[in-house]
C-alpha cells in the first residue's frame, strides 16, 4: 500500500527549468503521422480500422458528436477526440487505455491520455467532453449556458495542452495541485483573457480562506493524509492570489508558464 504524504511533502513539487529552451514549438512526436491524415473522419471507424480497437463492445450514447481534430501546443501537435456525453467520455478513456471502464466524477471531463492499447501504444491523445467546466453552472459565473459551454471547451483544451507542454518541455506531468493550477491558469486566460483567483476557487470547490473544499481539488490530493488536507486547502487558497499577480505582471503566457511550473506552492 502506497504511503500517504504530509502536506509539506505534497507541496514540495515543482519543475526544474532547463538552462535554455529549444526552439518552440517542438517538432511533432512521430506517432502524429498515424493520425494527421484522418482529421474529420468518423472517430469510431477510424479507431477500429486504423488501430483495431474494439469500439463495438461499448454502448455509445452520442456517436454523431464524436470528432477528431488537432491542437498545436508548445510541445508539438496532438490529436484531440471530443465527446458530448460523460458516459462516452468514460468509455473512450477505457478504449484508448485498454482498461476496464471507470466512472469518473462529473467534474472530470478532460484527460491527456497515454494510450495503452496494442496498436496505439505510446500515442498520446487529448480527450475532451462537452460539459460545464468543473461541473459549475453558468449561473454561478453569470454567463449564458451557450457561452459557458464554449468557454469550458477553451479552458479544457488549453488546460490539457499545458499538461503536454510540461511533459515535453520539463519532463513530467502530474495530477497535482501545482500542475492543475498552472493548466487552469492558462485555460482561464484562453477563455476569459485573464486569471481570476476567485474563479479558480469555484473550479476547485475551495472555500475562500481555505477553510474547506468539496470539489475538484480533492481529486488531486488523494495521496495526502486526510488530517493534512486543511493545510493544502489553506496553502492553495493563498497561492491563488499570488498566481493572479504573477499573470498580471508576466510579459507573456510563456513567462507565466515558466514561473508557475518552477515555483512550489508555499506550505
In the beta sheet, which residues pair with residue 110? 128
135's torsion region: left (phi>0), alpha (psi -120 to 50) or beta?
left
For the record, the C-alpha cell of 1 comes out as: 500500500
The verdict on residue 12 lying in a domain is yes
The verdict on residue 82 lying in a domain is yes
What global pTM score does this model have?
0.94
The structural domain count of the chain equals 1
The verdict on residue 170 lying in a domain is yes
Closest CA to 204 of 139, 112, 108: 108
The verdict on residue 200 lying in a domain is yes
Burial 95-122 (b: 16+ CB within 10 A, else e): bbbeeebeeeeebbbbbbbebebeebee
Q: What is the pLDDT of residue 211?
A: 86
Question: For the chain, how long is the longest CA-to-CA vector?
Answer: 52
The verdict on residue 2 lying in a domain is no
Question: What stretches in the chain show pLDDT beneath 50?
Answer: none
From the number of C-beta atoms within 10 Å of its C-beta (0-12, 13-18, 19+), residue 8 rates as: exposed
The verdict on residue 58 lying in a domain is yes
DSSP string covering 218-250, please? Answer: GGG-TTB-GGGHHHHHHHHHHHHHHHHHHHHH-
Q: What is the pLDDT of residue 39?
A: 57
What domain range is 118 assigned to?
Answer: 7-262
Q: What is the dihedral of CA 67, 169, 247, 252, to 10 degrees?
A: -90
For the record, the C-alpha cell of 138 comes out as: 453558468
Contact 200, 155 (CB under 8 A): no
Coil vs helix vs strand at 213: strand
Q: What is the pLDDT of residue 36?
A: 76
Q: What is the pLDDT of residue 1?
A: 66
Amino acid at each position: 500500500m502506497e504511503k500517504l504524504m504530509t502536506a509539506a511533502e505534497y507541496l514540495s513539487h515543482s519543475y526544474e527549468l532547463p538552462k535554455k529552451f529549444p526552439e518552440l514549438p517542438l517538432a511533432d512526436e512521430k506517432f502524429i503521422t498515424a493520425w494527421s491524415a484522418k482529421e474529420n473522419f468518423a472517430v469510431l471507424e477510424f479507431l477500429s480500422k486504423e488501430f483495431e480497437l474494439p469500439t463495438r463492445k461499448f454502448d455509445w450514447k452520442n456517436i454523431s458528436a464524436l470528432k477528431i481534430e488537432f491542437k498545436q501546443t508548445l510541445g508539438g501537435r496532438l490529436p484531440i477526440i471530443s465527446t458530448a456525453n460523460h458516459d462516452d467520455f468514460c468509455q473512450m478513456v477505457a478504449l484508448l487505455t485498454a482498461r476496464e471502464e471507470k466512472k469518473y466524477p462529473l467534474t472530470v471531463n478532460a484527460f491527456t491520455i497515454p494510450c495503452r492499447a496494442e496498436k496505439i501504444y505510446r500515442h498520446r491523445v487529448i480527450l475532451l467532453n462537452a460539459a460545464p467546466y468543473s461541473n459549475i453552472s453558468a449561473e454561478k459565473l453569470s454567463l449564458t449556458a451557450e457561452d459557458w459551454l464554449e468557454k469550458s471547451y477553451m479552458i479544457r483544451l488549453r488546460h490539457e495542452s499545458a499538461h503536454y507542454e510540461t511533459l515535453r518541455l520539463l519532463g513530467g506531468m502530474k495530477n497535482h495541485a501545482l500542475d492543475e493550477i498552472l493548466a487552469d491558469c492558462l485555460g482561464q486566460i484562453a477563455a476569459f483573457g485573464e486569471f481570476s483567483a476567485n474563479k479558480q476557487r469555484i473550479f476547485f470547490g475551495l472555500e475562500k480562506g481555505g477553510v474547506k473544499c468539496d470539489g475538484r481539488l480533492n481529486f488531486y490530493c488523494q495521496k495526502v493524509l486526510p488530517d493534512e488536507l486543511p493545510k493544502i486547502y489553506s496553502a492553495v487558497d493563498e497561492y491563488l492570489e499570488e498566481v493572479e499577480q504573477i499573470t498580471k505582471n508576466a510579459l507573456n503566457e510563456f513567462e507565466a508558464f515558466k514561473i508557475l511550473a518552477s515555483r512550489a506552492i508555499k506550505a
